[in-house]
Every structure is written in C-alpha cells, then in structure tokens.
Amino acid sequence: MRTLHHNIGPVLAIGPATLAADNTPAAIDLLGFNAAAVLVQVGAGGITFDSTNKVEFKLKHGDDSTVGNHAAVDQDDVVGVTVATGGIVKSLVAAHAAADVTKLSYIGGKRYLSVLADFSGTHGAGTPIAVTVVKGDPASAPVA
C-alpha cells in the first residue's frame, strides 16, 4: 500500500463548528501544488432547510490573497459537482437528517481559493459544518 501522507497538504477552509451565520472566508494558497480537492462536510441540519432558510457553499478563486477580489468559480473550474450561479457548489435547501461529505476537485488556474457558507433566512439552531481543502500533486515532496 502506498501512502498519501507526504503528497498532500490539507488546510481548513472552514474549521469544524456549529454555525448559524456566515463564516469569514480565508484565502487558501495553492502555490506549490498542482491539484486541489475540496471536502464539504455537513452534520445533521440544525433546522429544516428550505428555499428561504438555507445554506449555500460558494467556492471562489483569485490571483491574490484578498478574498474580496476573488470571483465565483464556474463549471469549467470544478469537477465532481454541478456549479450553480455565484459559485455555489452545494446547497442545503431540504431536510438534512444525516451527516455527509461532498467531494469536488478544483481544476481552475488561480492561485487562491476561498469558501463561504452563505446562510439565508432564519437559523434558530446551528448546523455542524467543516470544509477542508486538500492540496495535492506537490511540486516538491515530501510535504511537511
């Protein structure tokens, strides 16, 4: 069995937390890596989601670390999911009774990624959320 240990660099885009409001996105630097997977991890919903009371995960990318300069990804930048308008890669718009993980790969050409968990409506109880960016195919291995 081969190991991935020295060939990946995981980074928390959204640290594990129970959220009821938007996170503050951080810029994830992909410099030195030729691949990136994004893992969107969601626990059981704190509310019953619908088209008004929802959470949309928006993936953005840019050439600098200023998240405000990042633009929404489009379908040509991602494989594994269908991208909706505004870079939405996952939407919670119906009951979410069990935890799950959504995997996608970023194939765009920008250096930085950012992820926003965009809450709309009323969220009286939080929902457990985490997003991990797994940087892979390093230009120089082993990765520390």
Rounded mean pLDDT, 68-94: 98
Which class would CATH give 9-137? mainly beta
State what percent of residues in the chain have pLDDT above 90: 97
- Find the length of the chain: 144
User: What pLDDT is attached to residue 126?
Assistant: 96
Write the DSSP assignment of 102-131 as a string of letters.
EEEEE-S--SEEEEEEEEES--SS-EEEEE
Residue whose structure tokens are 């893992």: 39
Is the pLDDT at 115 greater than 80? The verdict is yes
User: What pLDDT is attached to residue 2?
Assistant: 78
Contact 105, 79 (CB under 8 A): yes
The whole model's pTM is what? 0.96
Summarize pLDDT for 32-71 with one digit per residue, the tens. 999 999 999 999 999 999 999 999 999 999 999 999 999 9
**Phi/psi of residue 11, each to 5°?**
-140, 135
Is the pLDDT at 1 greater than 80? The verdict is no
Spell out the domain ranges in the chain.
9-137
User: What pLDDT is attached to residue 144?
Assistant: 84
Tokens (6 digits) for 75:
């379908």
